[in-house]
């Protein structure tokens, strides 16, 4: 396919047809035609336990045995505890001690807290990974071509699509809950380690062959707050600790202290407040990067000045959106993932206005319509953007996987106005390039790129060009931004890849493959 939104040298149907180890057909992304899965249901078998008065089992090994987990199966986890998660380690320890091997881990995402999984890959306990993101040692290991079959990278909306369609069949879901009763009514908002929304777990629980809730706070039946229903839970296990919620808010979730990012934040606010969508009842999702999150301050001030209130905020919710709720500047929060302690606490304190939603409700483009399709604005971050507006958020400047797809492509496709914030220069490299290392979000869904040097509007959005060109905002082209940056830092050397060795497949939200990540060749590899 000849399209500026697809790098056909890296990814085409001929290449996909030669890839082994994936148990469903791989279809090349077509920006002009949505892919629809041929499988239409993944309903699990109806339970046949008879009357049970409790689902609590003695320990994880007992639960694993009862689920029938065996070699070659697929297990799932959610990542709501992020850097503080302790459930994956406990489950994998039990699995290894039981001698079960050749497993695929299908997690909503994986963080540095899961670096220990490299050892399980080395010994054959884990042979497949399906996730939204990879970082740190695990990203390095997989980028080095050490896993036999390619990782599958899915967006937060693409994952529930895959589960519901049957592309991703989960045998056993191991789901952390901050509290549960003995029948499996669970949440992430009460208990010793509250993490807020439990949204990523909900689709897993509904469609997995077996579901195990793991909690460190077992409460009397019925649990007063039910986000995950007992109807989808087979077993409950109480452990000493599910994790440390103080480690949920990591380095990717921050307000900016950088003058460069402050300029970007002001430019973002200038764009949003100049558009007709900025009116009473508007909706918005903000990213977690410094500039995109910091834009909330000038946007808030504009709301107060103009007497405008937002209808709702969506996505990964932080305490900054919670503050807007408390101030009466937004009416509702729809939360698939609580990004900090303030957001997690709000799920409990504001149950009428802070709503837990599933990942499918949030962003699955092939259900009857997700929340992202009603967004007015989304503000997203990026590692790099190319002159065709394609965005990379997963591979670093060395070609190593060190990020996550997240809801980037889902929200960009659904929102009325999608805004990508990126510094013109990051470190000693231009963030605006000829071709991004990996296309996570195709450029035909990106409307505006905001940098500290200026604002670029996608030529596909003439309506936005007509409006914003009449403002004092610094309108530039991406080519101008690229030339400016390269005039300061020069043009980066191209990364060398082993194109015979794919390490990850990037699946677009419709289930097609929109890019392939290959093993990056390091200088010492060439010398060897």
CATH of domain 259-489: 3.40.1080.10
Q: Tens digit of pLDDT for each residue in 51-64?
A: 999 999 999 999 99
List the single range of 39-43, 80-84, 271-275, 418-422 with lowest mean pLDDT: 39-43
Query: What class, spelled out in words, does domain 56-247 have in CATH?
Result: alpha beta
In the chain, where the domains are located = 56-247, 259-489
Give me the residues paired with residue 77 across strands.
107
Q: Tens digit of pLDDT for each residue in 423-473?
A: 999 999 999 999 999 999 999 999 999 999 999 999 999 999 999 999 999
Closest CA to 335 of 286, 289, 280, 290: 286
Structure tokens at 190: 């009460």
Instruction: Note whether 56-247 and 259-489 share their fold.
Output: yes
Where does the pLDDT of residue 299 fall: very low under 50, low under 70, confident under 90, or very high at 90 and above? very high
The structure tokens 């997203």 sit at 380
How far is CA 157 from each of CA 36, 58, 108, 412, 484, rounded to the nearest angstrom? 14, 35, 10, 12, 36
Q: Tens digit of pLDDT for each residue in 479-510?
A: 999 999 999 999 999 999 999 999 999 999 99
Closest CA to 225 of 344, 52, 76, 361: 344
The set of residues, in sequence order, having a beta carbon less than 8 Å from that of 472 and lying 6+ positions away, is none
- For all residues of the chain together, what is the average pLDDT? 94
What pLDDT is stored for residue 49 in this prediction? 85
Structure tokens at 116: 């220990």
Where does the pLDDT of residue 528 fall: very low under 50, low under 70, confident under 90, or very high at 90 and above? very low
Q: Tens digit of pLDDT for each residue in 244-292?
A: 999 998 655 555 568 888 999 999 999 999 999 999 999 999 977 678 7
Rounded CA separation 296/290 (Å): 11
Q: pTM (2 decimals)?
A: 0.96
Q: Percent of the chain having pLDDT more than 90?
A: 90
Is the separation of the CB atoms in 449 and 388 below 8 Å?
Answer: no
Q: Tens digit of pLDDT for each residue in 302-340?
A: 999 999 999 999 999 999 999 999 999 999 999 999 999
The structure tokens 């090994």 sit at 61
| Of residues 153 and 41, more confidently modeled | 153
Rounded CA separation 220/178 (Å): 14
Strand spans (E) along 28-171: 56-57, 74-77, 103-107, 126-131, 133-134, 151-153
Q: Tens digit of pLDDT for each residue in 17-32?
A: 999 989 889 999 999 9
What pLDDT is stored for residue 255 in this prediction? 59
Per-residue pLDDT averaged across 337-363, rounded?
97
What pLDDT is stored for residue 235 in this prediction? 98
């Amino acid at each position: 396919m000849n399209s500026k939104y697809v790098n056909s040298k890296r990814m085409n149907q001929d290449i996909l047809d030669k890839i082994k180890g994936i148990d469903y057909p791989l279809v090349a992304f077509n920006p002009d035609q949505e892919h629809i899965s041929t499988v239409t249901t993944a309903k699990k078998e109806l339970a046949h336990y008879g009357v049970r008065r409790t689902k609590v089992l003695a320990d994880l090994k007992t639960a694993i045995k009862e689920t029938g987990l065996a070699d070659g199966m697929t297990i799932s986890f959610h990542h709501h505890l992020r850097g503080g998660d302790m459930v994956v380690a406990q489950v994998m320890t039990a699995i290894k001690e039981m001698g079960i091997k050749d497993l695929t881990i299908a997690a909503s995402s994986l963080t540095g807290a899961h670096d220990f999984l490299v050892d399980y890959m080395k010994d054959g306990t884990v042979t497949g990974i399906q996730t939204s993101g990879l970082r740190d040692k695990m990203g390095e290991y997989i980028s080095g071509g050490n896993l036999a079959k390619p990782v599958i990278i899915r967006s937060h909306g693409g994952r529930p699509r895959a589960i519901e369609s049957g592309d991703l069949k989960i045998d056993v879901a191991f789901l952390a809950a901050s509290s549960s009763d003995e029948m499996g009514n669970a949440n992430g908002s009460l208990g010793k380690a509250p993490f807020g929304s439990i949204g990523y777990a909900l689709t897993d629980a509904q469609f997995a062959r077996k579901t195990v809730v793991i909690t460190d706070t077992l409460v009397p039946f019925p649990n007063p707050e039910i986000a995950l229903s007992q109807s989808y839970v087979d077993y409950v296990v109480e452990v000493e600790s599910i994790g440390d919620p103080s480690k949920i808010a990591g380095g990717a979730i921050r307000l900016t202290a950088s003058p460069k990012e402050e300029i970007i934040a002001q430019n973002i606010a200038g764009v949003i407040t100049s558009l007709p969508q900025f009116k009473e009842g508007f909706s918005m999702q903000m990213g977690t990067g410094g500039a995109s999150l910091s834009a909330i301050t000038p946007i808030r001030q504009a709301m107060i000045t103009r007497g405008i209130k937002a209808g709702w905020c969506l996505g990964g919710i932080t305490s900054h959106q919670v503050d807007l709720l408390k101030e009466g500047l937004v009416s509702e929060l729809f939360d698939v993932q609580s990004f900090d302690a303030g957001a997690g606490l709000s799920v409990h304190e504001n149950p009428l206005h802070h709503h837990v939603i599933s990942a499918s409700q949030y962003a699955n483009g092939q259900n009857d319509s997700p929340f992202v399709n009603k967004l007015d604005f989304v503000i997203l971050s990026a590692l790099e953007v190319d002159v065709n507006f394609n965005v990379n958020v997963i591979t670093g400047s060395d070609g190593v996987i060190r990020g996550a797809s997240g809801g980037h492509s889902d929200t960009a496709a659904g929102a009325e106005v999608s805004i990508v914030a990126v510094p013109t220069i990051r470190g000693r490299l231009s963030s605006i390039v000829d071709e991004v290392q990996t296309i996570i979000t195709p450029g035909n869904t990106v409307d505006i790129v905001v940098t500290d040097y200026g604002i670029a509007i996608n030529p596909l959005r003439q309506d936005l060009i007509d409006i914003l060109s009449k403002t004092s905002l610094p309108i530039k082209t991406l080519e101008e931004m690229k030339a400016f940056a390269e005039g300061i830092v020069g043009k980066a050397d191209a990364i060398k890849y082993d194109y015979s060795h794919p390490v990850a497949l990037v699946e677009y939200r419709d289930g097609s493959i929109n890019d392939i990540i290959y093993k990056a060749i390091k200088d010492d590899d060439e010398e060897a």
